Structure 1
Amino acid sequence: MKRNPQKRPDIYSQITNTIVEAIEQGAGEWQMPWHRSGEGLNRPINIHSGKAYRGINILSLWASAQAREFTTGSWGTYRQWQEKGCQVRKGEKSSLIVFYKEFEVEEPDPNTGDETSKRRVARASWVFNADQVDGYERPEPVEPVSDPVQRSQAAERFVTRTGAVIRHGGDQAFYRPSDDVIQLPEPERFLGSETSTPTESYYSTLLHELTHWTGHAKRCDRQFGERFGDDAYAVEELVAELGASFLCADLGINLDPRPDHAAYIDHWLRVLKADSKAIFTAAAQAAKASDYLAGLQERSEAAA
């Protein structure tokens, strides 16, 4: 018996609603699900493969961790935890992630003329955090950058290897596509907050603008105008916000939300509520941007 496709849960809507709820809960303090400290800031890791989750799954799991105050970034399915000798506690609620399954369909591909074409369909999977299981030995957490006067060698090396032109001066941070330059205030102009040091504030801003830099036509060539129209600028800002959060997680830097991000919150919410796949698009483009920057690291090492 075939299932009625209308009864199948809308994965896009479920995850989008989770993100929207998390943003709305923290919007008054300019907090996003990815503005976290401690181990939870790291990219969520699957305990079976040891690999980090990607794209929309990072946001979904960060939002779930924030809502339920989980303290670790380790996740796995019920079976994967059992295989590790751990047991999910009775009554614990799972968190939704999505994976894509590719299959062939018997219809001509309009681009190639082939009799069969491939399609990708989103499928849901459900995982539990390490805080929800018994028998898990937590690894030693990676210490985040904490000294306000000490530069992050990892971040400096990462940015240098991209080859991006970065200039310092003035009191504004921006990326200017016309001359392909990132402009930042001098590092000493960055102020700390209750949750971050000046150094963390500086690098999170730099990585935000570096993500914008990847959108240039000669790099990732990001263009949202056809799909999002007047909202294209807000979507690009969301990509940069997510890209910075991914990079900060990898480099051990607490992400400090820029004050001007508050102006985008209502705009972001409008976009996400109007299009349940918008956050998937933004997360996918942010992952593509971070992958592009990672590729520059490898090429720089090979040329050395």
Structure 2
Amino acid sequence: MAQARTGRSAQGRANLYEQITNRIIAELEAGRVPWVQPWGSAKAGVGLPFNAVSDRRYSGINVLTLWNAIVSRGFTSHAFLTFRQALALGGHVRRGEQGIGVIYARRFIPREERRRADSEGRDPSGGIPFLKWFTVFSVEQCEGLPAKICEPPPPIPEGLILPQAQALIDATGADFRIGGPSAFYSPAHDYVQVPRPDDFHDPINWHRTAFHELGHWVGGTSRLNRDQTGAFGSVAYGKEELVAEMAGAFVCAALGIAPTVRHADYIGSWLEIIREDNRAILRAASAASKAADYLLAFRPEAATAANDDEDPDDPAAGALDGRVAA
């Protein structure tokens, strides 16, 4: 009997893996990359799906599964919960609603191993890996839930993103996403993500972060093609960070935005790079100027300025070009 149960369990896991794999293959064959959510076609803002009761974020393949549901079904919230969790909150899933299957990986420790571990005063080891399948529902598929569970993230307050900054970001055409807990540029998927401006202690500093990450975006392979392969903590990584930081500062200055200075720990890491190579700051400033110019060229007024003849006697002309920093 135990062998029969084990056989069914193994078959169930194989079927589950196959279902998930087939869905991902179908997405790729349709020209969609499931780990780069098509936020432009989604009603929800950028974010990661989470359990509405525990606030814990779903992870792994469940992120892709729930993103797919958010986009394909037009949900505006990233919050999900089980049928029983909805009941425990005093609500219920609406009749006829179709749930979404998510998985939970666990390890089964046989009773004999638990007993042996207890007698030896240690934690149980080994175990048999298995997947549990759960069905979850969007909070938008439920009724009677507490209001705080159903509330979508509030819109970004008017005025926190300065209009000149918003206009430039829009003009770049970059895949620029707002939300989540961290700021980064993904070279592999070519998008920028930054937290909401109201997540910053001083919202004005959102602009520095936004243009810092766009400074990385400009360095992407299809644009200025800077070396962005340095591992975190490496010298190459630090140099790229320095370029992006200066590029962000240059753009903010051009737009009349004055964020506060970076924390001392950032400055310390840059000093180390500059002290080890007396040309590092020249190269970084040159690359940052090119990045800032690239971004600022998207402004409508930049087209007019580009038609003006350059004065060869102007000492500012070419002062930060690549030849200086060679």
TM-score tier by shorter-chain length is 0.3 to 0.5
**TM-score of the aligned structures, taking structure 2 as reference length:** 0.43
| Relative contact order higher in (CA < 8 Å, ≥ 6 apart) | 1
Larger Rg: 1 or 2?
2
Q: TM-score, normalised by structure 1?
A: 0.46
